Chains A and B, each alone.
Chain A
Amino acid sequence: MRTESRRRILAIAHHEMRAATRSGVLHALLGILIVATAGSVVIASAVYASRLADYQAYRAAAVAGGVTRIAPSPLAPLSLLRGAFEYIEIIGSVIAITLGYLAVSRERANKTLPLLLSRPVSAVELAAGSFIGALGVIATLAAASATVAVLSVGLIGHDWLNLTQVGKLFLAFIAAIVYMATFYSLGAYTAASSKAAANGLMVALGIWLIVVLLLPQIGDTLDADNQIPGGLFAALGLGHDGEVQILQHFATYETVRTSIEAASFAKHFERFAFAMTDVKERYRSLSFPDLLLQVRASIIWILIYAVTLPALMIRAFRKQPSIPQGANQ
Chain B
Amino acid sequence: MIDTIASQQLLSMRRQRVFVVAMGLFVAMTAAAGALGWSSHQTIVRVYEQAVKLLAAQGQPAPPNPFLLKPELSLLSNMVVYIPLLGALLALLIGHMAISDDGPAGRLVFSRSVSRGDYALGKILGAGIALGLIMLTALAISLFSLVVVNHAVPGLAVLGRLVVFYGLSWLYVMVFALIGMGAALLSRRRSFSLLAALGVWLGFTFAIPQFTSGLRPTESLNPIIDPVGISQRFFEVTALARPISIAEQYKAASGQVLAIVPVESASSTLSHTLPIAVAAALLVAAVIALVRRHDFSRSSYED
Interface residues of A (CB under 8 A from B): 24-25, 28-29, 32, 35-36, 39-40, 43, 46-47, 50, 82-83, 86-87, 89-91, 94, 98, 101-102, 105, 108-109, 196-199, 201-203, 205-206, 209, 213-214, 216-218, 220-222, 224, 227-230, 232-233, 235-238, 242, 245-246, 249-250, 253, 270, 327-328
Partner of A198, one of B17, B198, B199, B303: B303
Q: Are B51 and A236 in contact (CB under 8 A)?
A: yes
- Beyond A32-B207, A214-B82, 18 additional pairs, beta carbon < 8 A: A28-B199, A36-B206, A36-B207, A47-B232, A50-B232, A89-B217, A91-B202, A94-B198, A98-B195, A101-B191, A196-B303, A197-B303, A202-B194, A217-B78, A228-B69, A232-B66, A236-B64, A246-B51
What string of 1s and 0s marks CB contacts (under 8 Å) between B13-55 and chain A? 0000110011001000100100010011001101110110011
Interface residues of B (CB under 8 A from A): 17-18, 21-22, 25, 29, 32, 36, 39-40, 43-44, 46-48, 50-51, 54-55, 63-64, 66, 69-70, 78, 81-82, 85-86, 89, 93, 190-192, 194-196, 198-199, 202-203, 206-207, 210-211, 214, 216-218, 221, 224, 232, 234, 302-303
Find chain B residues with CB under 8 A from A91 CB: 202, 206
Residue of B nearest to A105 (CB): B303
Residue of B nearest to A221 (CB): B36
**Contact status of A209 and B40, CB under 8 A, knowing A98-B195, A236-B48, A245-B54:** no
B58 to chain A, nearest CB (A): 9
Q: Are A237 and B63 in contact (CB under 8 A)?
A: yes
Find chain B residues with CB under 8 A from A245 CB: 54
B interface majority secondary structure? helix
A interface majority secondary structure? helix
B41 to chain A, nearest CB (A): 9
Q: Are B216 and A86 in contact (CB under 8 A)?
A: yes
A68 to B237, CA, bound (A): 41
Partner of B191, one of A25, A35, A229: A25
Partner of B70, one of A36, A94, A227: A227
Partner of B47, one of A203, A224, A230: A224
**Contact status of A43 and B234, CB under 8 A, knowing A201-B191, A224-B47:** yes
By Cβ-Cβ distance, the 7 closest A-B pairs, closest first, are: A236-B63, A86-B217, A105-B303, A36-B207, A25-B195, A236-B51, A246-B50
Residue of A nearest to B228 (CB): A47
B299 to chain A, nearest CB (A): 14
Q: Are A198 and B191 in contact (CB under 8 A)?
A: yes
A35 to B211, CA, bound (A): 11
Residue of A nearest to B61 (CB): A237
A29 to B82, CA, bound (A): 23
B99 to chain A, nearest CB (A): 14
**Contact status of A217 and B44, CB under 8 A, knowing A47-B232, A94-B202, A235-B66:** no
Q: Are B206 and A227 in contact (CB under 8 A)?
A: no
Residue of B nearest to A40 (CB): B210
What are 18 A-B residue pairs whose CB atoms fall within 8 Å in the complex? A28-B196, A32-B203, A43-B210, A82-B216, A86-B218, A89-B218, A101-B191, A108-B303, A199-B17, A202-B93, A202-B194, A222-B40, A229-B224, A232-B43, A245-B54, A246-B50, A246-B51, A328-B303
Q: Are A246 and B47 in contact (CB under 8 A)?
A: yes
